Chain A
Amino acid sequence: MTKRMILLVEDNPDDEALTLRALKQNKIQNEVVVARDGAEALDYLFARGAYAGRDLRVMPQLILLDLKLPKVDGLEVLQRLRADPRTAHLPVVVLTSSREGRDVIESYRHGANSYILKPVDFAKFIEAVRQLGLYWLVLNEPVPVPRSA
């Protein structure tokens, strides 16, 4: 079985580059698809717009979701994908700079599997990515992929 891809939803190119670097440093070799806003993430997941015709049987093994996004924000992406049976069980890790209690609560309320704060200290971020990669990509047994889309 080939490694399934990671969907990174991130609008800040610096954070994108740093996250990719952190994944690479932790030897996480899954393909990473990057969506720059919430709308693009939903297009990808449901094979719409620029992603029309995409094979819907291929779903990410993990979604890394920023909360503050242009167009459709992270919480709404979460809400929509939890409402659809095709994506309802995908593991979603909220990756954000917000320490606000209500963001944490709202994320979990909308069905986030994990909430990780992006620390200013990049060394700590690398460690966080290592742990989440270990858990979600190695240890966690995903929900079986449906045979037909």
Chain B
Amino acid sequence: METILAGPGRKIVKAESGEDALRHLLQQDFALILLDVRMPRLDGFETAALIRQRARSRYTPIIFLSAVDTMDADVFRGLSSGAVDYLFKPVVPQVLQTKVSVFVDLFRLSEQLYQQAVQQSEERFRLFVEQVQDYAIILLDSTGLVQTWNAGAQRVTGYTAAEIIGQSLICLYTQEDRAAGKRESLLQTARTAGRVEDEGWRVRKDGSHFWANVVLTALHDEAGQLQGFAKVTRDLTERKRADEEIHRLNVALEQRVLERTAQLEAANKELESFSYSVSHDLRAPLRSIDGFSLALLEDLGDKLGLQGKDYLRRVREATQRMGQLIDDLLNLARVTREEMRREPVDLSALARSIATDLKRTQPDRQVAFAIADGVVAKGDAHLLRVALENLLGNAWKFTSKQPRTRIEFGVDRQNGTPAYFVRDDGAGFDMAYSGKLFGAFQRLHSNKEFEGTGIGLATVKRVIRRHGGRVWAESSVGQGATFYFTLHLPEGSQPIGVSR
């Protein structure tokens, strides 16, 4: 039998039983299996079924050998269990040889095709890697010497494959990195951890530097033996430069903010010391004028005569007004420079306490205050008090000519934002002049009509502006006036103004 089968390039393995055959099949691939049907224990059919169960031998051709007296049913069973043919003993040598040759040739052909396909696939992959421009994709051997070099590697580093294959990549490292043994430490980390990523400056062939992102992966064979490394390098110089530029701009910006803040703080300090001087030095002479005028009136009043006394009274009135002006101006300055807090402020309670103070100044007046309950807003309690004092104080003042009046405080909605208001039924004003209302020293009434310095509403405007809000008024002459304001300090925003 074996002599019939022998031929050039053929290897014949003889198995003594079904189990023996299966053991051989575990160790190697076969072009053809000749299987005797009648065997002790595991017969041919059972052996075939087991052979077919394994993926590796599922399509290996099987020829059953059987005695002549085999029933047709056996033939059918053999074919259905996966045999490709059925031969009867005694075997006719020519027939067997022909059949075996066909299968062996078929096996060789398919092996060849498979190898070709693998080669083609490898070639395609090699070409693909070689032509990638954006990434340097390099294979290193287990000692770190270059084995393959793609177009990307050439583009990124400037070295050609001919220059570098077989070399180590030490030429890409900076002097400092070389001294620090960076190449070796990266290889070592890849060896132990399997993979290492690094970002840093590398040197091109022309000496210029590029910012590299490197991923080094250890490659092992099936037995776990280190075969080498795959190294993928990206040139991120552009991104690095952009990052550095952003960083530089940020630093410059921060510097400018610091400078501006320092300037503002200096200006604020100056304003503060100016206010301080005003507070001290401007008031002192006024005290002298007023004090000595009064002394004159008291000590020498009888010698002055009516006209003289009237003149002195005017001098004193003027000094009081000037004193008031100084106080109001200082308040206006303070409102701008004082540090702001942000807390819930009970505006209703504020308005009520101001109303009580106002009533105490002129207990005889008939003024009905209508103050809405539970009006709470977020802002600076002190500054909002200053604003409400001015608005309610104005309402109080401009209703003073009427025997009975009503002053209202409440909140409306304007485009979804709460608009707080102070309303009176007093003298009112001509809307044609409403533009002048909130300017410092702007007055719509003479001092003879209503006393005032013209600073109150300018102060209100500053307070509201520091709260990010708006203030406006509606009125007509003789019909009273309504002053509205909004407060808008969004969560997390800086209150407007300089803090100390």
Contacts and interface: CB of A to CB of B under 8 A. Distances in A.
Interface in A80-126: 96-100, 118-123, 125
Interface string B292-320: 11110000000000000000000000011
Nearest to A19: B291
B378 to A, nearest CB: 23
Interface of B: 275-276, 279-280, 283-288, 290-295, 319-320, 322-323, 327, 330
B218 to A, nearest CB: 70
A25 to B, nearest CB: 8
A120 B283 contact: yes
Given A100-B276, A125-B287, A21 B295 contact: yes
A14 B280 contact: no
A56 B113 CA distance: 123
A121 B295 CA distance: 12
A119 B276 CA distance: 16
Contact of B280 (A97, A119, A122, A125): A97
B291 A98 contact: no
A98 B276 contact: yes
Nearest to B283: A97
17 contacts: A14-B284, A14-B291, A15-B284, A15-B287, A18-B287, A18-B288, A97-B283, A97-B287, A98-B276, A98-B279, A98-B280, A100-B276, A119-B323, A120-B319, A120-B323, A122-B290, A122-B291
Interface residues of A, number: 18
A31 B461 CA distance: 51
Contacts of A21: 291, 295
A131 interface: no
Contacts of B275: 100
A68 B280 contact: yes
Interface string A122-138: 11010000000000000
A12 interface: yes
A20 to B, nearest CB: 11
Nearest to B327: A99
A103 B284 CA distance: 17
Given A120-B320, A120-B323, A18 B291 contact: yes
A92 to B, nearest CB: 19
Contacts of B287: 14-15, 18, 97, 118-120, 122, 125
A5 to B, nearest CB: 23
B279 A97 contact: yes
Which 8 pairs between the two chains have the least Cβ-Cβ distance?
Answer: A120-B323, A14-B288, A122-B291, A18-B291, A97-B283, A122-B294, A120-B286, A122-B290
Contacts of A122: 287, 290-291, 293-295
A17 to B, nearest CB: 8
B335 to A, nearest CB: 13
A37 to B, nearest CB: 15
A125 B291 contact: yes
**Best-surrounded residue of B287, B295, B320, B322 (most CB of chain A within 10 A):** B287
Contacts of A14: 284-285, 287-288, 291-292
A127 B320 CA distance: 16
A147 B295 CA distance: 42
B282 to A, nearest CB: 9
B284 A12 contact: yes
Contacts of B288: 14-15, 18
A121 B275 CA distance: 21
Contacts of B290: 120-122
Contacts of A121: 290, 320, 323
A118 B280 CA distance: 10
A15 B160 CA distance: 95
Interface string A26-45: 00000000000000000000
Nearest to A67: B280
Given A15-B288, A97-B284, A122-B291, 9 more contacts: A15-B287, A18-B295, A21-B295, A120-B286, A120-B290, A120-B320, A120-B322, A122-B287, A123-B294
A45 to B, nearest CB: 24
Nearest to B282: A97
Contacts of B276: 98, 100
